[in-house]
Amino acid sequence: AQSVTQLGSHVSVSEGALVLLRCNYSSSVPPYLFWYVQYPNQGLQLLLKYTTGATLVKGINGFEAEFKKSETSFHLTKPSAHMSDAAEYFCAVSGKAGTALIFGKGTTLSVSS
Amino acid sequence: DTGVSQDPRHKITKRGQNVTFRCDPISEHNRLYWYRQTLGQGPEFLTYFQNEAQLEKSRLLSDRFSAERPKGSFSTLEIQRTEQGDSAMYLCASRGTDIWDTEAFFGQGTRLTVV
């Protein structure tokens, strides 16, 4: 069985500040890990993913995440927030390719000027 | 290819009515998933198809819900005797055939409101 916990349902940062969104997972098999972003009334867009190999993965829009097996974490970071980053962010886990993604409850990111 | 397409985008229905949603996946993708998302929550898995075979169903998928994927192309999700608790965004996603096709591509969703 797999599950995802996103710590903090709402994160607020100032424009230009560091963004840190936390995700911890539970998986009985080696996980595939994902971060998706969702804008109001839209579907989900993939930001980045970890499958195998390098544990620091870079995604779109300047986001990156690091897979830490010992901490069962996959936190999302961005060095400098932009107003356009304001959205809902979801961490997800799946097992082998093909199995369904299991999502966390999401974190709303607000960016103030 | 324009990605995963869902129709309609919005649906308002009276309690007790039946509704049907359609999902057209990316053309070469053989895996198709349905999710339900309520306000303030992450998407919850409902069911999964590989080609035309429905391989997995969540316990969330009550007997009022049925999904099909005839010929392994588009899929439909039907809700019978809708209840107010069915109000949600219904998301469809598809994935490719290759074992390395780990990314799921999502449609824009169908927002259902039951009044």
Per-residue pLDDT of chain B (115 residues; tens, 9 = 90+): 579 999 999 999 999 999 999 999 999 899 999 999 998 899 999 999 999 999 989 988 889 999 999 988 999 999 999 999 999 999 999 998 776 667 889 999 999 999 9
Nearest residue in chain B measured CA to CA from A44: B106
> Nearest CA to CA, how far is A45 from chain B (Å)?
7
Do B91 and A94 count as a contact with CB atoms less than 8 A apart?
Answer: no
Q: Is the pLDDT of residue A53 over 80?
A: yes
Q: Which residues contact A84 (CB under 8 A, 6 or more apart)?
A: none
For B58, nearest residue in chain A (alpha carbons): A100
From chain A, pick out residues whose CB is under 8 angstroms from the CB of B107.
43
Per-residue pLDDT at B1: 55
CB within 8 Å of B83: residues ≥ 6 apart: B15, B64, B114
**Separation CA B15–CA B10 (nearest Å):** 16
pLDDT at A50 over 80: yes
For A104, name the nearest residue in chain B, comparing CA atoms only: B42
Which of A32, A36, A100 is closest, CB to CB, to B102? A32
Cβ atoms of B88 and B67 within 8 Å: the answer is: no
In this prediction, residue B37 carries a pLDDT of 94
A97 CB near a chain B CB, below 8 Å?
yes
| pLDDT value for A41 | 77
pLDDT score of B114: 98
Round the average pLDDT of chain A to a whole number and report it.
93
Residue A20: pLDDT above 80?
Answer: yes
Task: State the DSSP code for B72.
Answer: G
- Please report the pLDDT score of residue B9 as a whole number: 95
- Structure-block tokens of residue A63: 């986001």
Instruction: Say what the pLDDT of residue A97 is.
Output: 61
**C-beta of residue A14 within 8 angstroms of C-beta of residue A43:** no
**Among A41, A20, A29, CA closest to A2:** A29
- Residues on chain A touching B24 (C-beta within 8 angstroms): none
Among candidate residues B91, B95, B8, B5, the one with its CA nearest the CA of residue B51: B95
CB contact under 8 A, B41 and A102: no
| Residue in B48, B101, B105 nearest the CB of A100 | B48
Q: Which of B2, B54, B102 is most worth mutating to test chain A (most A CB atoms within 10 A of its CB)? A: B102
pLDDT confidence of residue A88? 96
pLDDT for res B99: 67
Percent of chain A with pLDDT over 90: 79
